[in-house]
Chains A and B, each alone.
Chain A
Amino acid sequence: MPKLIIDNIPVEVAEGTTVLEAAQSVDIPIPHFCWHPALGKAGACRVCAVKMLDGPVKGIQMSCMLPVMEEMVVSTTDPEAMAMRRSVIEWLMINHPHDCPVCDEGGECQLQDYTIAGGHGIRRYTGTKRTHVNQQLGPYIEHEMNRCIQCYRCVRFYQEYAGGTDFGVMGSAGRVYFGRFQDGPLESPFSGNLVDICPTGVFTDKTARFRARYWDYDMAPSICQECSLGCSITPVARYRELLKIIGRRNDAVNAWFICDRGRFSAATPVNNPLRPRTPRIEGREAGWDSALDAIVQRVSELLKNHGPGCIALVGSQRLSLEGMALLPELSTIMLADAPCYFCDERERVQTSAAVTGLTGAISASMADIRQADCIAIVDVDLMAEAPMMVLAVRQAWRSGAGVYSIGETVDLPCECTAVATLDDVPLATAQRPVIICGTSGFTTARQYVSLPMAKGEPVKISCILPGPNSFSAALFSHEHAAISLEQAISSGRIKGIIAVEADIPPELSADIPVIAALDWRNTDTVAAAQIILPTTAWAEMDGTCINNEGRAQHFRKTMNPGLPVHGLNPAGHPSHLHRTIPPGGDLRPAWQIIDELIVRMGGTRTTEQLNGKWEKLRHLDAEGDGLPIYEL
C-alpha cells in the first residue's frame, strides 16, 4: 500500500487508487467533472489539477489520471494548481450560456459549484459562443446542448456502463455533440441516469421541468417500491407533489444508478388525484372515528353470527414491515386465523420456498452479481421484473464474466449464451458463480448451491421476488403458518375481508364482502370496499422493507401528505375552512390504522412496531447499506 502526503496529511491507500480518490479518502475534495466513481477516469475536463511537490512525478498533474505512488507529496492548494484550475473553469465557461436562472440544474449544478469555488466570478470573454440545435429525446429528458462542457460522462454511462447504442458523441474538436442520430426517445431503459450524471444542465428531468429549486425540495433517503430489488432513491417533492426521483448510492444494492421505471413511474400513483383521501363508509365521507367504529361493529356482528375464523385479514407484498408485523395481533383479537400475506396460493408457496431456502451464505447481493465471473439466468425476464439486475449483469460481463440463459430468451445489453439446463453452465469451474432465478426456478437453482467446486466459492443465488416487500411477507407468512386468501376462501368459513394495501382479485371476493380496505392507491379493491381508510404512500411515511436478497432497508418520510397544489381546481380557492392539516392530508400509515383497530377491539396500543427479532431494525440507518436479516 503506497504512502503519500496530500496537503500535509499522510495518506495510505491501496495500489491503483488515484490521487483524486486518495485525497477524497481524507476529506480533501478536488474539483472534477469527467471522473466519476462508477465510470472511472477520462482525463477530459482538466479541472482536477494538483501540484506534485516531490516524489516520482513533479509539477502540475491531473489527479484523476495519476495512480498513487510511494513518496508522492501532493498539494491541492498550491497557487500554480489553483491558477490552473481557475483557468480551466474559465475556459469551460466560455461557451456555457448565462442561463442559470432558467436552468433546472441551477442550485444542484456541479459546474455552478466549481465555477464559484474556483474563483471565476466575472466573465472576461466577450466573443460569440458556440451554439447547438437541441434534440427531442422523448417524454422524460430535456436536452440543452449549449450548456455542455464535454466531460463525456453521458456517453460513457450510456454506451459503456448501460450498453445503449442510440445515443453517443458526434463531431470533433469544438463541435462535439452528445445526442442521437435523429430526434426520438432514448431507447435505453436506464436513460434517466443521464440527468443524475451530467455535471450541468444538458440533461434535465422533463417531468419536473421548471417546478422547483434544490433548496426548496422536500427530500429524504428512500427505497424504490417498483420491484423487489429495493434500489436506493431520493424522492423530491414540493407543494405536496412528488416531483421526481433521483438515484442514490448504495454499494451493496444499486451502486449509483436506477432504472427508468423506478425514476419515472413511481410518482404517478402518489400524485394521483383519485387517491383515497378521506375515510368513507358506503361511499360517503366519514370521520376517522366513525369509520374505525363501523369496522369494529361489522366485525363484531360477523363474529356473533358466524363465530371465530370468519374474518380474513389480508396483507400484501407492498405493505411495509411495520404493518405486516402488527397484522397477526389484529387477527388474534378478531378471532381470525393468521393473516393472509398472499392472495394467490401458488405465489405464497413459491415465494415462501425461496425466502426460507435462502441463507446469508448463499443469497447474492447486487454487488455479488457485479463481481460474479459466471452468471446463469434461469427463466426470468429481468428487464420486466428487475431492470437494475440487467445493469448489474452487464457490469459483470464487462469484467469478463460468462452470462448464460436457460429457458425464456432474454434480451440483455451483453453477450449471453442460451443453454438447455443449469448443468450446461460452467458453474463448478467458476470463482464467483451466481444463479439469477424467479421464485418458480428457485428449487432447481437451490440444488446447485452444494455443487462441488473446483476452486471457487460455492454458487450464490439471487431470486427475483414478485413485489417490493415480498421477502417480509413470506417471512411472516411462514412464521405464522399463514395460508393464502385463495385457500382461506376455499375453506368456506370466510364471511368478510379486511384488505390492508392488498389487491384482491375480483373473483376471490365475488361472494364475500370486503368490509374494509386500507390503501393509498385507488384500486379495484378500494372501489369494492364498504369502508375505506386512506393510508399514507411510501413517500409520506417512515417504513422498512426487505429486498429480494434479504436486506432490510429503512425509508424515510419525504413529504407531508395532501392533495398536490399543482392541478387543484382554482375555483375552490381560497378555502374558507379553518384547518391545521392541508386538504387531503389526513392520512395515516397502515400500521397506525391497524393499531387503532386493535385498541378499539379491546387490545393494547403498540408503542413500538418492531419487536422481538425485528428490534435491531428500529434504528436502521436509512442512508446506510441496509442490514441483511440473516444477521438478526
Chain B
Amino acid sequence: MIPENMRQELQNRIASAVTNREAAVDVMKSLQAHYGWLTDEAVVEAAELLGLTPLQIEELATFYEMIYRRPVGRYVIHVCDSISCWAMGGETVMGKIAGLLGISVGGTTADGLFTLLPCCCLGNCGQSPTLMIGDTIYNRVTAESAAELIEQYRNP
C-alpha cells in the first residue's frame, strides 16, 4: 500500500498528462522508489491508478531495463555493454566490478548494497566506457576508477 499523499501526488501527475498511458513510466518510477523495486503489488497499484490492466503495466515495466521487477540492492550499477563502450573496454570494467563485488552480472551482493546489471547504451558514447550508479553517470571509467567508485559508495 502506498501512502495517501503519494497516491494523491500520482493522481495529479496522471491528471496533467494528455493520456494516462503517457504517465505510466513516471508512476512506475515513483512506485519503484517507494518499494525499492516494482513489486507485483506495485504493478497492480499502478494499473489501478492509470486505469490500465496489470498486463498493460507489465508490458511496459518489463520493456524498460531501469524498471526492476525483481529485488535489487541499494545501488544499481548499470554498465553499458553496447558497441562503443565495448570497443573502449567496457567488458574489462564489467569484469573488474563483478570481481570486486564477488557477484556475477545480474547478481546482488550479500549485504544488499549493490546490484550489477549490463545495460544498453546510456547515450554517453562520447565518454565511453560509461556506467551509471543510481542516477549518476560516470565517464571514461577504467578498472582503477571503477574500484575507487565502489569504495566511495561502500564508505561514503
Contacts and interface: CB of A to CB of B under 8 A. Distances in A.
29 contacts: A165-B52, A165-B53, A165-B55, A165-B56, A166-B55, A168-B55, A168-B58, A168-B59, A169-B59, A170-B58, A170-B59, A170-B62, A170-B63, A171-B62, A171-B63, A172-B62, A172-B63, A172-B65, A175-B62, A177-B62, A180-B55, A181-B43, A181-B53, A181-B54, A181-B55, A181-B57, A181-B58, A182-B40, A182-B54
Interface in B18-66: 40, 43, 52-59, 62-63, 65
Contacts of B40: 182
Contacts of B52: 165
Contacts of B57: 181
A172 B57 CA distance: 14
Interface string A274-316: 0000000000000000000000000000000000000000000
Contacts of B65: 172
B48 to A, nearest CB: 13
A170 B60 CA distance: 7
Interface in A157-201: 165-172, 175, 177, 180-182
A456 B138 CA distance: 64
A524 B43 CA distance: 50
Interface string B86-103: 000000000000000000
B113 to A, nearest CB: 26
Contacts of A166: 53, 55
A533 to B, nearest CB: 51
Contacts of A169: 59
Interface of B: 40, 43, 52-59, 62-63, 65
B42 to A, nearest CB: 12
Main secondary structure of the interface of B (DSSP, over half): helix
A169 B61 CA distance: 11
A167 B55 contact: yes
A170 B55 CA distance: 8
Going nearest first, the 5 A-B pairs with the smallest beta carbon separation are A181-B54, A170-B62, A181-B55, A165-B53, A171-B62
Contacts, number: 32
A171 B63 CA distance: 5
A181 B61 CA distance: 11
Contacts of B62: 170-172, 175, 177
Main secondary structure of the interface of A (DSSP, over half): loop
Contacts of B54: 181-182
Nearest to B120: A173
Given A165-B56, A168-B58, A170-B63, 18 more contacts: A165-B53, A165-B55, A166-B53, A166-B55, A167-B55, A168-B56, A168-B59, A170-B58, A170-B59, A172-B62, A172-B63, A175-B62, A177-B62, A180-B55, A181-B43, A181-B54, A181-B55, A181-B57
Nearest to A166: B55
A19 to B, nearest CB: 31
A540 B22 CA distance: 55
A543 B78 CA distance: 67
Contacts of A168: 55-56, 58-59
Contacts of B55: 165-168, 180-181
Nearest to A169: B59
Task: Give the residue among B40, B58, B63 with the most A Cβ atoms within 10 A.
Answer: B58
B8 to A, nearest CB: 26
A495 B55 CA distance: 61
Contacts of A177: 62
B101 to A, nearest CB: 24
Contacts of B43: 181
Contacts of A180: 55
Contacts of A165: 52-53, 55-56
Nearest to B55: A181
A26 B56 CA distance: 41
Nearest to A155: B59
A90 B56 CA distance: 32
A171 B59 CA distance: 7
Nearest to B54: A181
Contacts of B53: 165-166, 181
A618 B58 CA distance: 55
Contacts of A171: 62-63
A138 to B, nearest CB: 15
Contacts of B59: 168-170
A180 B53 CA distance: 10
A170 B62 CA distance: 6
A413 to B, nearest CB: 13
B45 to A, nearest CB: 13
B23 to A, nearest CB: 18
B145 to A, nearest CB: 29
A605 B87 CA distance: 89
Contacts of B58: 168, 170, 181
A172 B58 CA distance: 12
A167 B52 CA distance: 13
Nearest to A171: B62
Contacts of B56: 165, 168
Contacts of A167: 55
B97 to A, nearest CB: 22
Nearest to B65: A172
B95 to A, nearest CB: 21
A492 to B, nearest CB: 60
A152 to B, nearest CB: 12
B50 to A, nearest CB: 12
B60 to A, nearest CB: 9
A168 to B, nearest CB: 5
Contacts of A170: 58-59, 62-63
Contacts of B63: 170-172
A182 B41 CA distance: 12
A622 to B, nearest CB: 40
A171 B67 CA distance: 11
Nearest to B43: A181
A167 B55 CA distance: 7
B156 to A, nearest CB: 33
A14 B57 CA distance: 41
B49 to A, nearest CB: 16
A169 B62 CA distance: 9
B142 to A, nearest CB: 28
A62 to B, nearest CB: 24
Task: Give the residue among B43, B52, B54, B55 with the most A Cβ atoms within 10 A.
Answer: B55
A182 B55 CA distance: 8
Nearest to B64: A172
